[in-house]
Structures are given as C-alpha cells and as structure tokens.
Copies of this chain bind each other. A is one copy, B any other.
Amino acid sequence: MDSASPELGIAVIGYSFMGKAHSNGWRNISAFYPGGPAVSQRVIVGRDRERVDAAARQYGWQESATDWRAVLERDDVDIVDICTPGHLHEEIALAALAAGKHVLLEKPLANTLDEARGLAAAAATAQRDGVRSMVAFNYRRVPALALARELIAEGAIGEVREVRAAYLQDWLADERAPMTWRLRQEQAGSGVLGDLGSHLVDLLRFLLGQEVQRVTGQLRTFVASRLGEDGPEEVTVDDVAWAWLGLSDGAEASIEVSRMAFGRKNGQSLEIYGSRGALSFDLERLNELWVDEGKGPRRTLVTEADHPYLFAWWPPGHVLGWDTTFTIQAAEFVQAIAEERDPSPSFADGLRVQGVLDAVVRSNDLRRTVVIDDLV
C-alpha cells in the first residue's frame, strides 16, 4: 500500500450468496495482495433494512443502505459491485457507469442478448473516460485454471482439438424440490444454461483464446411442474442443457450442464485434448490440475508461490478454497483500476458468452445447428 494513494471505496449491491462471496473477497484482499491499492468496504446495499444491517455487520461493511441510486451519488464510492439477480443488472449497471463508477458485475452479463448489447456498448463508452468494468466470471481466478490457460498459450499441449466439459449439480434432482424464482424465465432468463453454462462458455474462451462460431444445442426440463407457494407451478426454464461448440481455430467442445445430476454438488469438470498433450480439472478438487505431456496424467497441486496468483498465499500443499477466487477477482479488478488499464473479462466478453447461450436456445428451438453472426 502506497500511503500516498487514496483508498478505493467499495459499494456492493446484494447481500445474498453472491453478496457474501464478493464481500469475502473485499475483506481479504489486502492480506494476500499487500502491494495493491487499498480498498475500503464503504457500504452494502439491499432492499430489506434489517437484513442489510445484519449483512453489513457480518461481512465487515462500514454502512448499509437500501437505496442503490443514492449510493451511486456518493463521492466516497469508487467501485460498484453488482450482485443482484440478472434482471436487475441492466438498470443498475447502466446507472453506475453513467455515474462514473467502476463496475464489477456478477455473471451472466444479462438475461437477454439485447440487454447484453446495451451493457457492452455502455461499458465501451465509459471506458473512454477511464471508467472500468468487468464481469465476475470468478472461475478464471482458480489458480489451476489460470495455469491451464498459460500452459495452452505456451503450446504445452499443442493445438487444442477436443474439449469435453460439464458442470453438474443436483439441487433439482429431487422432484419435490420447491419452485423458486430461478425456475421462472421472466426472472432468471434461463435455467442451468445461463447459470452454469455461462461459466463453461466463458472458460472455453478464456482457456483456448478462441471464439465460438457454430452451435448445436439441446435443452430439457425433466420436472415440468414444482410446488410453489400457491400450489403447483410450471417450470419455464431448462433443467439440463447440452451444446456442441465449433471454435474459431478448429477446436470442438461439448458441454453438459445440469441441476439434475444426482450426487454432484458442484461438479465442474474439464478435459482438454490437444495434439501433443492434455489437461483436466475438477472443481470439487480445485487445487489440482492434471497435465499429460505424453507419459500419463500428472497431478499438479497448484499451491506453489510461482503458480498464478499465489505468490502471497500459503505454503505448498496448504490448499485453497472456492472462496479464494473472489479475493483474487477483487484484487485483479482494483489492480487494473490502479494501473489505468481495462480489466478482463470485459462486458464485451460477457456479450460474447451471451451470444453463445442465445444460439444454444435457438438451436434447440430449431432442432438444427446454428452459426453465430456478428454480435454487435
């Protein structure tokens, strides 16, 4: 911390799961990235006065607030971190950018392709005035996946040809699991496709440095109706989604995402096969990257000081948790701000992901392969 540099004031909007995870990042940033800019947890914003008060105390925020518009006007807030459900992303993010605040926005960028286009355009405009924006695809910050990206870029596995990816959960496997807003299209946008599929599409682009050009998709809702507060209610989003993606340099990826995969809690797995090697990864063992350079898969415990992001964490073998990704993400964002450069993934990246998800839906509706046109 350079004592001359001013602190960056943070406001987070949302106090649920993602609000808690992002708060964890802001609270721990200085412990692991002591050389970076100082941050101050100014205010947490939520609709319920009592709950947002409790969240402020619990997660280390100096204040709480219920009116996000008022927060955008505060001079002591430099960064707005948006952790609300997707249908609120557009309104809040546009306002925050207009107010000149740097914006960190939880994924996916938006619920619809139109909204995503608008957000990307606004971010591009704001960027000209030095206002930074980033989408919170936190899995880019898993050290093992950041290492995977480096290895691929260095050519360690040759030309990537075939990717087999899945992200499997099981919280809907029980048909008695109740209705929630996440299963209504008007609020959630889509089901598992947007929720977990967006992560895989982002990771593909991140890891391979290729764009998706061709999409075949299939969606399926296994349990068509669930019990809501007023009786049975139709589920209007997908329980499981599949896609094959043709990428710009010739790789082919298959994707499967599910909320019905009995017994898989957070089962993100990636297998990447190249012409001279292979990589694999499983999020439930996120400290491990498996690398095959020709003599069998080798387990690398990605906990060394010279691994990505890890110069200031724990000794080798002292494994990291899932929440680590939010600390790293926060650090990356403020570092970019301090260095006056654009952070990654940008809203334009978020739009690219949205374009792929949209193509999956179209392919499913048409029952045929679709090509992705220019998005902007």
Residues of A bordering B, CB below 8 Å: 1, 17, 20-21, 23-24, 27-28, 30-31, 34, 54, 57-60, 157-158, 161-162, 164, 166, 168-171, 173-175, 216, 218, 220, 222, 240, 242, 244, 250, 252, 254, 256, 258, 260-267, 271, 273-278, 283-287, 291-292, 294-301, 303, 314-324, 366-369
What is the oligomeric copy number?
4
Name the contact of A169 in the complex, choosing from B57, B296, B317 (C-beta under 8 A). Answer: B317
Q: Is the CB of A296 within 8 A of B299?
A: yes
Question: Contacting A57 at CB < 8 Å: which of B34, B161, B173, B264?
Answer: B34
CB distance from A137 to the nearest CB of B (A): 16
Bound complex: CA A147 to CA B222 (Å): 26
Assess whether B301 is in contact with A273, with CB atoms less than 8 Å apart: no
Q: Choose among B27, B258, B285, B318 the residue that contacts A273 (Cβ–Cβ < 8 A).
A: B258
Inter-subunit contact B263/A297 (CB<8 Å): yes
Known: A261-B271, A286-B319, A320-B322. 8 other contacts (CB 8 A): A23-B31, A31-B60, A240-B252, A254-B256, A258-B273, A263-B278, A291-B296, A319-B321
Contact of A321 (CB < 8 Å), options: B267, B271, B284, B324 = B324
Task: Please determine whether B284 and A262 come into contact, CB atoms closer than 8 angstroms.
Answer: no
**7 tightest Cβ-Cβ pairs between the two chains A and B:** A265-B317, A266-B317, A321-B321, A298-B298, A263-B292, A368-B368, A265-B316
Q: How far apart are A189's CB and chain B's nearest CB, in angstroms?
A: 20
A305 CB to nearest B CB, Å: 12
Question: How far apart sit A243 and B34, CA to CA, in the bound complex (Å)?
Answer: 42
Closest Cβ neighbor of A24 among chain B residues: B31
Known: A57-B34, A322-B314. A276 touches B262 (CB 8 A): yes
Q: How far is the CA of A369 from the CA of B166 in the complex (A)?
A: 22
Most B CB within 10 A of own CB, among A30, A271, A277: A271
A322 CA to B321 CA, complexed, in Å: 7
If the complex has contacts A266-B317, A319-B284, A369-B368, are A256 and B54 also in contact, measured as CB distance less than 8 A? no
14 pairs, A vs B, C-beta closer than 8 Å: A24-B31, A34-B57, A162-B258, A171-B316, A260-B273, A262-B275, A265-B317, A283-B319, A284-B317, A284-B319, A285-B319, A318-B323, A321-B322, A366-B368
